[in-house]
Amino acid sequence: MNAEAFIDRLDAANIAHYVLENDGGCAVFLPAAARMIGLWADAEGPNVLWTHPDLFLSAEAASQGWSGLHPGGPGGDRLWHGPEHQFFWEGPPQADLSNWRVPDFFDPGGFRAETSREAVRFHRTLEMPDGATARIVRSFSVDDSDAPGFQLREEHSVELVDATRDTQLDLWVITQVPAETTLLVPARHPVQPGVAFEEKPGDIARLARSIENTFVWNVTGVPLVKGHLPADAVLGTLACFRDCGDGCGTSLLREFSPEVGAAYRDGLLPDQVGNQCVQFWDGLGYGEIECHSPTATPDNPMVTETHRIEAYSGPITSVSDRVGKTCGVPPPLLFSS
């Protein structure tokens, strides 16, 4: 679906949204979880991001964030908070994830928006269960660089206020992509991902691969797995590459800043905590690639990160060359499995 048709359907469902445009590219945002719900390198082309097929049912469903539409919530690129093991379980963790829940105070989360033609800024104050307060900000602005495609600058921050001794909070930037997308994360050396969850034990080891020093995962939307990569291995770039058929393709490139030695305290379970900077998910019909921030604590109460996002689309050979050059992967190998 192109950008105009997507926005028309949001309008028809009376779903509040915000738009940034530049040189033919377009991004669309929803307040729920400070979410970029659509991203087009070419407004006439396909959405780079995955969106839930029921997104346009009603304004009420979209405004409820993850809880309004299952599985996967509305989709897009959203901001969540962690540590996951601390906030997402109702009682002792169950192996089948049956009591894993997304807290409503994270998604939709009560974000307010400030907008202009060049930028969108979401902000909120989070009242945490331990009585602490945190200020959360996420902003997007159009980047007028000479690089190809549609460029955005994204910044997010967390500031702890009135923290207790044990307060901790981190931010996840979670990008949802369609099945048949290839996730690529350049690393310092070939890396075998850690396992957070597998419905079938061994799936991550069986399906993950490395090309040169780049971690590669082919999203199918089927296996129900979550894995992770350490901050001291990744280089600070990731890519989502998709062959859309008919000789066309899309990509999303993200530049981020892993901090070797910083306190990354996220993890699905407490015994998994340690140095998780990038996580990925595959299942329920879509895939995810997540960038996690270091954890804000009373000793380090403010964490700010700046990412650069590039959406690119066009002839498949041009897109694969762009992704291959960025990730250090020979383009022909992007099409192997």
Give the pLDDT confidence score for residue 152 in this predicted structure. Answer: 97
| Res 253 pLDDT > 70 | yes
- E-only strand ranges, 41-189: 77-82, 112-115, 119-127, 133-142, 150-161, 170-178, 181-186
Give the pLDDT confidence score for residue 70 in this predicted structure. Answer: 67
CA distances from 132 to 159, 198, 297, 298, 299 (A): 11, 34, 11, 10, 14
At 309, is the pLDDT very low, low, confident or very high (cuts 50, 70, 90)? very high
* pLDDT tens-digit readout, 180-222: 999 999 999 999 999 999 999 999 999 999 999 999 999 999 9
* pLDDT tens-digit readout, 15-43: 999 999 988 899 999 999 999 999 999 99
Q: Alpha-carbon distance 160 to 113, whole Å?
A: 20
Q: Alpha-carbon distance 218 to 240, whole Å?
A: 10
CA distances from 215 to 82, 204, 207, 317 (A): 24, 12, 11, 21
Asked, as a colleague might, if the bond just before 148 is cis with ω within 30 of 0, I would say no
Query: Residues near 80 by Cβ (< 8 Å), separated by ≥ 6?
Result: 33, 102, 106, 107, 171, 172, 174
**6 φ, ψ (degrees, to nearest 5):** -65, -45
Name residue 186's beta-bridge partners: 214
Q: What is the mean pLDDT of the chain?
A: 93
- DSSP, res 295: P
Q: What is the pTM of this model?
A: 0.95
Indicate the domain borders of the chain: 3-329
Give the pLDDT confidence score for residue 328 in this predicted structure. Answer: 93
Look up tokens 């990354």; give the residue.
264
To the question of domain 3-329 being in CATH 2.70.98.10, the answer is: yes
Q: Alpha-carbon distance 47 to 15, whole Å?
A: 18
Report, as an integer, the average pLDDT of 314-323.
95
At 337, is the pLDDT very low, low, confident or very high (cuts 50, 70, 90)? low
Q: What percent of the chain has pLDDT over 90?
A: 81
At 255, is the pLDDT very low, low, confident or very high (cuts 50, 70, 90)? very high
Report, as an integer, the average pLDDT of 221-241.
96
